[in-house]
Amino acid sequence: MPREWAAQARAALGREPTALVTVLATEGSAPRGPGARMVVTGDNQQGSIGGGALEYQAVEQARAILDHPPGAWRIQDYPLGPLLGQCCGGRVRLLIEHLDPDASQWIASERPIAARLLADRVERTDTDIPNTEPLFARGERPGVGATFAEPADIPRMPVLMFGAGHVGRAIAQRADGLPLQFARYDTRSDAAEMPGVVHADEEAMVACAAEAGRDAAVLILTHDHALDYRLTAAALRSAAPFVGLIGSRTKRARFLARLRDEGIDASRLTCPIGMPGIAGKEPDVIAIATLAQLLTLRTTA
């Protein structure tokens, strides 16, 4: 899945002059962390660096830089206090730049980027620049000649989702903009026609569940209870810290009995899925409750 800001920037660059606002560094309390980005054009903006007066000022600065040649940049430091009418109390350092369509290949890179500030542009490379120093939100601002590592994009937790039925589609449709990276699988033949879904046989799906990493969550919601069980057993043997299974408490009890008989530790199994206290069997309700539950995993990891 392409990074959202990158897709927005490439689309905007194909139509009109485009600015990019990047949170380079923060100290103390700040609305968004390093790596948050916002794409700004003359009459539109996409993404957010946290809203409020800070974002208003950043958008104004971004539109002002569009009056300068492509490649133009500036670094701005903002204390989040009375001057901006915000009470966060922290500091934010922003890079605001007029993107150059002829030097925008770096936007598509998934590798770490090193940046060098030149007089007329920000030179970027996906190979390390030696002697890069960490950035801080206070102290002297970087100027021409400074080099630094671009802040990484906001990390997204991998989610392996098995099943692309009504609930699976509802989860995928509502996950846009969330810091979650979905890989979706289904065995049914029509899955090959579903955008973003990998058509795989049962053996391949079970093997994938068994290889889930310690940074991943697993969601199991296929149309077949027997396949659900195989996937659950495989995922519980993996390193995945969270294994979520759609189903009733009766289904949970039956699965737990079988898992116990097979000597499989089911302490990581969550069934039914979704945040406790959110009632409803509608796909949209289950989707929102499940996404909320996944987001709690990021904050407690």
pLDDT digits (tens, 9 = 90+) for 9-65: 999 999 999 999 999 988 776 778 888 899 999 999 999 898 778 899 999 999 999
Counting every residue, how long is the chain?
301
Give the C-alpha distances (Å, rounded to integers) separating 293 from 84, 100, 266, 298: 34, 40, 18, 9
* Token pair of 62 as six digits: 């971004």
Give the C-alpha distances (Å, rounded to integers) separating 125 from 74, 105, 149, 273: 19, 10, 10, 43
pTM: 0.61
pLDDT at 68 over 50: yes
Q: Report the distance separating Cα 175 and Cα 288, nearest Å.
A: 9
Name the average pLDDT for the chain: 88
pLDDT of residue 258: 97
At 241-281, the pLDDT tens digits run 999 999 998 999 999 999 999 999 999 999 999 999 998 88
